[in-house]
Structure 1
């Protein structure tokens, strides 16, 4: 089977993410691992109020992922997302290589800029 390039936006339980961000991201990674996907990039994108309640949740966190995966695993990914207590919804898109590379680069740069802005400025040593 051939590998395809995918973008997937996972809608996660924001309460669960707030209490355990690493564990929540690990749950998504486990789903992707079970589908034999090669994760390229993952970034929390937006947290906020949902337009309507989903599984009794009024808030959610959007987790943006980019990965390579065999096209035959799409149904398995959907099944695992439905079974997950962490994933409320997901949206999977297949991209051509040129667009995939541009999107990964944009997300990576965005993440690096946010990290730099959040880092404290170095303090000059006083003499």
Structure 2
């Protein structure tokens, strides 16, 4: 398994319950496929450098996890099809 880090920005108009649901969904995606979530860091609402989908703010979340490459690709696919995700990035950490 390889180490990955992902940062995603959620729609700031979501309520706390919806945000928690999405964070849990992405965490479960890794764990169901045999991966391990090491840390989830919620940065909260921050101002964006430029508007994304007519939003000036976003809810930032950083997640560190260990999994295989196939799960990382699946995570990117799920981010792309989730309308509440404004932006995302998944990077592999080098040792």
How many residues get paired? 94
Structure 2: unaligned runs, 5 residues or longer: none
Structure 1: unaligned runs, 5 residues or longer: 98-127
From the two aligned structures, give the one with the greater strand fraction. Answer: 2
Q: Structure 1 runs of 4+ off > 3 angstroms?
A: 30-37
Instruction: Between the two structures, name the one with larger relative contact order (CA 8 Å, sep ≥ 6).
Output: 2
Larger Rg: 1
Rounded to whole Å, the distance in 1 between the matches of 2:28 and 2:83 is 13
TM normalised by structure 1 equals 0.61
| Residue in 1 that maps onto 2:61 | 63
TM normalised by structure 2 equals 0.78
Instruction: Mark the CA change 1:37 to 1:56 in structure 2 (over 3 Å): closer, same or farther.
Output: farther
RMSD: 2.2
